[in-house]
Structure 1
């Protein structure tokens, strides 16, 4: 009976190792999520830059119109 109990304990250790593998898989999932969030953040940055460029274009148009009014 003692030998069988020891073998069962070894099996439990193997299960713990499997759980460790699950933790590694979970860590991989976390990494993937982080990468996706980073990509989303990059998209947001691009959108902000485009919006800023559009705002700059609007400012240029307004200044040009004001200059035209001054010239007139």
Structure 2
């Protein structure tokens, strides 16, 4: 399936969850906020939130001294 992550087109396997995406990208869930189609996803729901064709995600990574995009 195709979706957009931080403005870039990406292809992922059907049924991928937000939690699985973070594992693929080697991002620790506790240091990132995920926005899916303009809605912030609660960290506790990362493993249950299944991504779909055309979804738009923003991964915002918190680091010492500021915020950055992953």
After TM superposition, the score normalised by the length of structure 1 is: 0.16
**Higher-helix-fraction structure:** 1
Larger Rg: 1
Identify the structure with the greater strand proportion: 2
Of structures 1 and 2, the one with the larger relative CO (CA 8 A, separation 6+) is 2
The two structures have a TM-score, normalised by structure 2, of 0.16
